[in-house]
């Protein structure tokens, strides 16, 4: 499966494009299947229907656990590092992980969970999160993980959309020095989630948590009754493995559905080839499992491959800015994968927290989540990589399941700020404004990024809304998957992602849509209208600027701003709070009444030239807003 040289890459790439069925058939042979497939893939772009390894049967956990346990039971799967460095860390072998997964599978059975049932996981970064995920996969239940930074309202919406029967959470936990009372957030959501029958609570801290008799039980009490054996459920390759919600440009988040067979093949193949991890390496992805990066490159990819990973509960700033590098040294991390926003934040502190001694084990660096600017790239390369580590700028999405465009470590060349080349099996296209593909003939081109062919780990649908799946991804450009990103291709064929071309804004590597934030604000009684735009921020990549008009004037803008921030925290979560809020007399509008976000974006970015505003319904408000803009 492993690509070993640049020449090999070109050959494999060629093969994957000329005969994808033969290419993926061969790769899929490297996994354990209970029954082989009837066809490698089928694709219908018109209907947005795709299948991979149809007819095959497998259980992904046999690939992540059993087959490694047979050969190498004592290999460490995870070094778990707690939030607080004075607490003990834990090493978990493949054997131990398998035992724990099997026992928890039994608990799930006992709770009446079976194949196809949805289970919501709302948990901190603890080994039990991995155990719960894999136990779901073991019995064929579909997990839906909600990042433990989302609000109760966001949790409620996601539970209801997927109609989850069971919620697994923790009483509370520390993120840095902050105590997060997770169960209390759940309890608010649980008032409006009729499908939830049971709640299992992991006691992470000594804090007392209210429990509802008959519904809520503690993790340890459940486990004490459980057996160690659990035969894996036989799954069809196309059965859903999980749902993961991501922002959409309308208010409602999209439940992206990934399936068992193709997702396993795609994440494992990309993990092996992008990172080139060897037997004794220690790999660390700093993402939270609540996002796709954690699903694919902390859990499924690395485990199916058989890697040793670090699993970190905390944040890079606690107890201080040295934490990441202390962990690198402690576990002799060789492969380090993080987000540009973390790199920029640490770079801003200067080099006093970075001790070169602690970084000698590093061989490969990766980034993901948003475009990495030149300055951050250079700092990562020089200060962290000591100029000896390739930097993998990995471009992909929740919907793609696996890395699509990236350098392969020590195999294909790097270029600062470029994601570089597509992985085998990925055929990108750049589209012009008329919807035509821009032909590449050795000169730089730029356009909207599409993928022209199906790939194994692609999303199959949006949970309970296939029409939306079709519309969002497959209707803008006929016969192609539209990514929502813009990209540039240089004369050598390298791709650079230039950013979103739709209403989605990437903040600290997290995908946020403005519509639900505006909807939340608009529910406040005194608010007339609101418009949220992104503007460039040195650390977060982008930050949010809210323009608000009121139904009636007020002398107390401060309390309105406070109410807005509270409402957003409640409805969506703290990550969606705008950095700037400006109360305006009116929002600039087109004659048809549409808010001109283009102009607001320019004001937010501190630009002066707005082009021709005379066609606006209310051109005079532009100057007024500009005069009071927050810099
Ligand atoms: C969007 C997807 C994929 C895991 C994390 C985000 C942006 C992602 C890069 C990169 C430039 C990137 C894109 C993409 N993005 N990686 N290496 N360079 N932009 O997953 O939340 O689904 O967001 O993140 O805009 O469309 P996501």
The enclosing domain of 577 has a CATH number of: 3.30.300.30
Q: In this model, does residue 366 exceed pLDDT 90?
A: yes
Cα first-last separation, the chain: 52
Cβ atoms within 10 Å, residue 389: 22
- Percent pLDDT > 90 in the chain is 87
Cα-to-centroid distance, 374 and ligand 1 (Å): 17
* 254 ligand 1 Cβ < 6 A: no
User: Worst-scoring range by mean pLDDT, 248-257, 368-377, 507-516?
Assistant: 248-257
C-beta 395 within 6 A of ligand 1: yes
Q: Is the CB of 288 under 6 A from ligand 1?
A: no
Find how far residue 155's CA is from the centre of its chain.
16
- Over residues 388-417, mean pLDDT: 97
pLDDT at residue number 229: 79
DSSP annotation of 88 reads P
Does residue 195 have a pLDDT over 90? yes
- Closest atom of ligand 1 to CA, residue 497: 11
Contacts with 488 (C-beta within 8 Å, 6 or more apart), sequence order:
444, 445, 446, 495, 496, 498
Between the CA of 38 and the centroid of ligand 1 the distance, in Å, is 34
Task: Give, in degrees to the nearest 5, the angle at Cα 369 between 161 and 494.
Answer: 130
**Whether the Cβ atoms of residue 61 and residue 141 lie closer than 8 Å to each other:** no
Q: Ligand 1 mean position to 339 CA, how many Å?
A: 10
Read off the pLDDT of residues 493-502 as tens digits, 9 standing for 90 and up: 999 998 888 8
Range of the domain at 617: 504-627
- Does residue 474 fall inside a structural domain? no
The stretch 496-518 carries a mean pLDDT of 87
Q: Decide if pLDDT at 251 tops 70.
A: no
Residue 50 forms part of a structural domain = no
In a domain, 586, yes or no: yes
Question: Is it the case that residue 226 has pLDDT exceeding 90?
Answer: no
Ligand 1 centre to CA of 50 (Å) is: 23
Residue 25 lies in a domain: no
Pairing of strands 282-285, 308-312: parallel
The response to whether residue 128 sits with its C-beta less than 6 Å from ligand 1 reads no
Residue 153 Cβ < 6 Å to ligand 1: no
> Model confidence over 414-450: pLDDT tens digits?
999 999 999 999 999 999 988 999 999 999 999 999 9
Domain assignment of residue 380, yes or no: no
* Amino acid 519: pLDDT: 86
Give Dmax over CA atoms of the chain in angstroms.
73
| Rounded-to-integer distance, Cα 186 and Cα 171, Å | 9
CA–CA distance, 287 with 293 (Å, rounded to integer): 6
Two tokens, residue 486: 């813009």
Q: Is residue 547 part of a domain?
A: yes
Q: Average pLDDT, stretch 511-525?
A: 88
CB 459 within 8 A of CB 505: no
Rounded to whole angstroms, the Cα distance separating 253 from 464 reads 12
The model carries a pTM of: 0.91
Distance from the CA of 396 to the center of ligand 1, in angstroms? Answer: 5
Tokens of residue 574, six digits: 């703290």
Tens-digit pLDDT profile for residues 291-305? 999 999 999 999 999
Judged against a pLDDT cut of 80, whether residue 85 lies above it is answered with: yes
Ligand 1 pocket test, pick from 246, 274, 295, 369 with the greatest ligand atom count within 8 Å of Cβ, gives 369
- Answer whether residue 584 is part of any domain: yes
Question: Locate tokens 């795609």: which residue?
Answer: 266
Kindly report whether the peptide bond that precedes residue 489 is cis, defined as omega within 30 degrees of 0.
no
d(CA 506, CA 482) in angstroms, rounded, equals: 17
β partners of residue 510: 507
Ligand 1 geometric centre to CA of 511 (Å): 8
With beta carbons less than 8 A apart as the criterion, state whether 145 and 121 touch: yes
CA of 505 from ligand 1 middle (Å) equals 10
Residue 615 has pLDDT above 80, yes or no: no
Residue 399 pLDDT class (50, 70, 90 cuts): very high
587 neighbors 595 (Cβ within 8 angstroms): yes
Mean pLDDT of the chain: 95
Q: How far apart are CA 133 and CA 108, in angstroms?
A: 11
Q: Which of 267, 506, 534 to mutate to test the pocket of ligand 1 (most atoms within 8 A of CB)?
A: 506
| Neighbouring residues of 597: CB distance < 8 A, sequence distance ≥ 6 | 531, 533
With beta carbons less than 8 A apart as the criterion, state whether 298 and 158 touch: no
Q: Whose CA is nearest to atom 24 of ligand 1?
A: 369
Number of domains in the chain: 1
Nearest-CA residue for ligand 1 atom 20 is: 397
DSSP code at position 362: -
CA of 294 to the centre of ligand 1 (A): 13
Q: Ligand 1 centre and the CA of 395: distance in Å? A: 6
DSSP labels for 199-261?
A: EEEE--SS------TTTEEEHHHHHTT--S--PPPPEETTSEEEEEEE--SSSSPEEEEEEHH
Residue nearest to atom 18 of ligand 1 (CA): 371
- Residues 565-588, buried b or exposed e (16+ Cβ, 10 A)? bebbbebbbebbbbeebbbbeebb
Q: What is the pLDDT of residue 589?
A: 86
Nearest atom in ligand 1 to the alpha carbon of residue 405 is: 17
pLDDT of residue 611: 76
Q: Are strands 282-285 and 335-338 parallel, antiparallel or unpaired?
A: parallel
Atom of ligand 1 nearest to the CA of 247: 21
Cα gap 302→307, rounded to integer Å: 5
Question: Span 249-264, mean pLDDT?
Answer: 89
Work out the pLDDT band at 104, boundaries 50, 70, 90.
very high
For ligand 1, whether the C-beta of 398 sits within 6 Å is: yes
Across residues 13-26, what is the average pLDDT? 98
Shortest CA distance to 545 belongs to which of 579, 511, 577? 579
Decide: 588 and 613 in contact? Cβ < 8 Å: yes
Q: Are 587 and 621 in contact (CB under 8 A)?
A: yes
Give the pLDDT mean for 348-352. Answer: 90
Confidence of residue 250 (pLDDT cuts 50, 70, 90): low
In a domain, 606, yes or no: yes
Q: Is 209 in the pocket of ligand 1 (CB under 6 A)?
A: no
Least confident of 97-106, 120-129, 344-353: 344-353
């Amino acid at each position: 499966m492993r690509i070993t040289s640049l020449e090999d890459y070109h050959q494999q790439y060629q093969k994957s494009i000329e005969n994808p069925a033969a290419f993926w058939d061969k790769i899929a042979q490297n996994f354990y299947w209970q029954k082989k497939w009837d066809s490698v893939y089928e694709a219908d772009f018109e209907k947005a229907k795709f299948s991979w390894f149809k007819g095959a049967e497998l259980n992904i956990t046999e690939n992540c656990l059993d087959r490694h346990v047979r050969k190498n039971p004592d290999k460490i799967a995870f070094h778990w590092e707690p939030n607080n460095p004075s607490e003990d860390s834990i090493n978990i072998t493949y054997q131990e992980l398998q035992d724990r997964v099997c026992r928890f599978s039994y608990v799930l059975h006992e709770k009446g969970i079976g194949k196809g049932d949805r289970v919501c996981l709302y948990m901190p970064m603890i080994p039990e999160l991995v155990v719960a995920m894999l136990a779901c996969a073991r019995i064929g239940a579909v997990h839906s993980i909600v990042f433990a930074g989302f609000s109760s309202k966001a949790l409620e919406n996601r539970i209801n959309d997927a109609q989850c029967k069971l919620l697994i959470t923790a009483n509370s936990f520390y993120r840095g020095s902050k105590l997060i009372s997770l169960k209390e957030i759940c309890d608010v959501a649980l008032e409006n989630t009729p499908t939830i029958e049971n709640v299992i609570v992991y006691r992470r801290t000594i804090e007392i948590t209210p429990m509802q008799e008959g519904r809520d039980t503690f993790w340890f009490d459940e486990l004490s009754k459980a057996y160690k054996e659990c035969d894996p459920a036989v799954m069809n390759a196309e059965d859903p493995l999980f749902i993961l919600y991501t922002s959409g440009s309308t208010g409602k988040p999209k439940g992206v559905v990934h399936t068992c067979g193709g997702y396993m093949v795609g994440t494992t193949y990309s993990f092996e080839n992008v990172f080139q991890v060897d037997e004794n390496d220690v790999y660390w992805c700093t993402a939270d499992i609540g996002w796709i990066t954690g699903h694919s490159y902390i859990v499924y990819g690395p485990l199916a491959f058989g890697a040793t990973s670090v699993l970190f509960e905390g944040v890079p700033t606690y107890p201080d800015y040295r934490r990441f590098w202390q962990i690198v040294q402690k576990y002799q991390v060789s492969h380090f994968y993080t987000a540009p926003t973390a790199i920029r934040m640490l770079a801003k502190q200067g080099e006093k927290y970075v001790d070169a001694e602690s970084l000698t084990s590093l061989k490969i660096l990766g980034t993901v989540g948003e475009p990495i600017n030149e300055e951050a790239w250079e700092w990562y390369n020089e200060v962290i990589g000591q100029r000896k580590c390739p930097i993998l700028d990995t471009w992909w999405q929740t919907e793609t399941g696996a890395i699509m465009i990236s350098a392969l470590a020590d195999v294909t060349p790097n270029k600062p700020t470029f994601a570089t080349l597509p992985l085998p099996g990925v055929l990108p296209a750049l589209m012009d404004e008329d919807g035509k593909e821009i032909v590449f003939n050795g000169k730089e081109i730029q356009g909207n990024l599409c993928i022209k062919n199906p790939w194994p780990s692609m999303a199959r649908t949006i949970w309970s809304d296939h029409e939306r799946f079709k519309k969002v991804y497959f209707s803008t450009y006929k016969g192609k998957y539209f990514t929502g990103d813009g990209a540039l291709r240089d004369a050598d064929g390298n791709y650079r992602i230039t950013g979103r071309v739709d209403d989605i804004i990437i903040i600290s590597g997290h995908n946020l849509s403005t519509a639900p934030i505006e909807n939340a604000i608009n529910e406040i009684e005194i608010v007339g209208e609101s418009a949220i735009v992104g503007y460039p921020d040195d650390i977060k990549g982008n930050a949010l600027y809210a323009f608000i008009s009121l139904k009636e004037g007020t002398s107390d803008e401060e309390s309105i701003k406070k109410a807005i921030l509270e409402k957003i925290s409640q409805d969506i979560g703290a990550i969606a709070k705008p950095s700037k809020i400006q109360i305006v007399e009116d929002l600039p509008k087109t004659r048809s009444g549409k808010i001109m976000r283009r102009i607001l974006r320019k004001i937010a970015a501190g630009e002066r030239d707005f082009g021709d505003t005379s066609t606006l319904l209310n051109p005079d408000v532009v100057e007024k807003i500009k005069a009071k803009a927050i810099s």
